[in-house]
Structure 1
């Protein structure tokens, strides 16, 4: 049974991430001139700090140096956390985005922009902002109804627990 290079990398790196309580979100290799860039994205419920990324990077580098999984060609290693624009694809991504505004493309067509107020195994409880002075409404969306979703970056995000409205 043959495995791809990404699969082999995941097998090597998942235990390293798990030791730190992190989820290995993405392993990606992209060409960059004569080199390649190996991008490793990790996340956790509490987020990932710069020091954690640096520590994990050193450990990943040592493990990769001791293996042949990257071959002889030069590469650059980047260990990072997922960006704000990353797609939400797993229930844990939605859970970690609780309180945030998301834009979801629905499987049956249409788009929904709403704030995540609750997450369980089956789907999301959302608060859909009211338009033109109307009150926000609650809506339930099952994961199976979502084709694609991502967090909307908010520059003046409402503080968590602030239920007051302007008016």
Structure 2
């Protein structure tokens, strides 16, 4: 039986939904002996909305919310959420034999403040945030960009380069303060924490 990541992701999403969580990303790494399945989770949209409301109402007195971090960047995941999800998901994976072979390690965590951006919904959700983007092919003679994500429309993301001091080729190559990058040309993208 071969490893099917789509089946594992579907199962993870089903288990996560029962805990009011969403699967952000899933990775499987390693060889025959040291295999690791990593699942990155966050609260679902309803729970994130509750967290944002709580943050705006009680930002000063609540020690559970980090200061200076925009609420949309918080995954809201606690250690208890990760443990409960890992227990239930690990049981299902083992019972359904979704990872054939002897042993593997299951790691469950939040995506972190510098999370990867995956699909169009992430670019819409995190508009206004600082991001790092690496492209497949150069845009204005550069493949590495850092700036504020100011827009996402028609599968093109817009970065405001004046938001951060540019480094390397970006510093020399661009005289404009805005760059537009087609989503199809994005190799990697992630948030940059502003604390």
- TM-score normalised to structure 1 length: 0.66
Superposition pairs of residues 11-90 of structure 1, within 5 angstroms: 11-19=10-18, 20-31=20-31, 34-43=33-42, 46=48, 47-50=75-78, 51-71=80-100, 73-90=102-119
**Count of residue pairs brought into register by the alignment:** 150
Q: In 2, are the aligned partners of 1:86 and 1:151 still within 8 Å (CA)?
A: yes
**Which gives a bigger RCO, structure 1 or 2 (Cα 8 Å, sep 6+)?**
2
Q: Which runs of 5+ in 1 are unaligned?
A: 158-167
**Residues 130 and 148 in structure 2, CA contact (< 8 A), matched pair in contact too:** yes
Which structure 2 residues correspond to residues 72-151 of structure 1 after superposition, within 5 A? 73-109=102-138, 110=142, 111-120=144-153, 122-129=155-162, 137-151=177-191
**Would you say the 8 A contact 2:28–2:35 is kept in 1?**
no
CA RMSD of aligned residues (A): 3.3
Change (3 A) 1:144 1:10: closer
CA-CA distance at 1:113 after TM superposition: 1.7
Measured in 1, the distance between the counterparts of 2:36 and 2:27 equals: 10
Counterpart Cα distance in 1 of 2:82 and 2:117: 21
SS of 1:40's equivalent in the other structure is strand
Q: For 1:67 and 1:121, locate their aligned partners in 2 and report how far apart those are by CA, in whole Å.
A: 41
Deviations 1:113-150 (A, max 9, x none): 21113334523243221669xxx945544323434322
How much does 1:96 deviate? 3.9
SS in 2 for 1:9: helix
- Answer yes or no: is the 8 Å Cα contact 2:129–2:148 preserved in 1: yes
Ranges in structure 2 where 5+ consecutive residues have no aligned partner: 49-74, 167-175
Compute the TM-score of the two structures, normalised by the length of structure 2.
0.59
CA pair 141-86 structure 1, distance change in 2 beyond 3 A: same
